[in-house]
Amino acid sequence: MNTIAVNKSFDVATVRKDFPILNVEVHGNPLVYFDNAATTQKPQQVIDTLNDYYRRYNSNVHRGVHYLSQVATDAYEEARLKVSKLLNASSSAEIIFTRGTTESINLIAFSFGEVFIHEGDEIIISTIEHHSNIVPWQLLCQRKKAVLKVIPVLDNGVLDLEAYRGLFSEHTKLVAVGHISNALGTVNPIAEMIATAHAHQVPVLIDGAQGLPHGKVDVQSLDCDFYCFSGHKMYGPTGIGGFYGRMSLLEQMPPYQSGGEMIQDVSFACTTFNEVPYKFEAGTPNIADAIGLATAIEYLEKVGWDAIAKYEQELLRYATEKLTLEGGITIIGTAPDKASLISFLIDGVHPLDAGTIIDHFGIAIRTGNHCAQPLMDRFGITGTIRASFAFYNTFEEIDRLMAAIRKVKQMFL
């Protein structure tokens, strides 16, 4: 008997009509998609935008004088402006388009690192980072003979802020930390962490791959120096994302790649680079998907950021209570402030085995280390089962997950 009180005021039925993939059947069952931390599904409006671009005004941008090029350029730059307004950047020129968060972090690690990181300098990251916010800094430290320092994590999945404050020294040159853990759902207190770093005159990069999908971000209020994001995590196309960068830093950073668009003047003697943001966008950009990202942002604004956040928290609470009441399940990461994501283990069952069986019920969940292997090592496990929820998910779908989990337990225990 269900004794958990839920607020079903959010009109999820109407929202679900916008996502055609939710009508798909998997193994003879209606799809339940709980892998939203990996990538989100796309509303019909985004799909239509991509189709419209390729059918009506496909053209290269910026340098063309013909009509189609001008239309494409306007739409592409409007997408940059849309992202700028979403993040409350002081200028759209502070928005650099990339393929996503991973490329954004790599770009910054290379370009910022070339200018600001030297032998003996220190970079601070955390134990709960995605590999994409670990490996680029390791490579930078190897190139520059710098030192990587790591914020420990407490048993509940919360970063040890006292230890964080103790990591700073006169050699600290950057803090790179995630907004939300993709493996645990922990929402890091990034405003406090940024303030601590700035008190030491240290800039901060925020990996926002999991942060931006769950609510608006104000980079001016946060006072962060870089904020990276991926479009496909926020209901937009794959292959598009970017980052906000503080203009004073962007102007000092060298280009990451070279070629067309990022140049102002070329001769065999020397090359003069274009202004920001174009200095960092070599070659033909991902025009269609940038425009699709703008549509995704418009869609999220129409649904309502506050309504999305409230409903996702209701899903999280419902799933957490269901899993806790079930017994024989261990939740990994019990931070008091979490996004709509749960990592857990079924006692005595390997996550891969559980995920394979759950898939046969038409339920998409993620198993493994979630590209957070050092975090798994910290908890002494090889991986978890991860269910991550979006605003098109339902309480009934969580009930279906629980029924599948019971079937797993019956088969193995």
Q: Which of 141, 228, 270, 371 is catalytic?
A: 371
Quote the distance between the C-alpha of residue 223 and its chain's center: 19
Asked whether 177 and 195 are in contact (CB, 8 A), the reply is no
CA dihedral defined by 361, 237, 294, 68, rounded to 10 degrees? -140
| Whether 101 contacts 208, CB under 8 Å | yes
How many Å apart are CA 107 and CA 217, to the nearest integer?
21
Clarify whether 224 is annotated catalytic.
no
- For residue 366, list its beta bridge partners: 386
Helix (H) or strand (E) holding 141: helix 135-144
Q: Three-state SS for 99?
A: coil
Alpha-helix residue ranges (DSSP H) falling in 215-278: 219-222, 247-250
Which alpha helices (DSSP H) does 24-129 contain, by range? 44-52, 67-87, 101-116
For residue 333, what is the enclosing H or E element? none
Residue 300, φ and ψ in degrees, nearest 5: -60, -40
Q: Tell me which H or E stretch contains 375.
A: helix 373-379
CB 147 within 8 A of CB 122: yes
Mention every residue, 6+ apart, whose C-beta is less than 8 A from residue 332: 157, 184, 343, 344, 345, 379, 381, 384
Question: How big is the chain by its Cα radius of gyration, in Å?
Answer: 22
122: closest CA among 199, 174, 195? 174
Strands 25-26 and 147-151: unpaired
Active site residues: 371
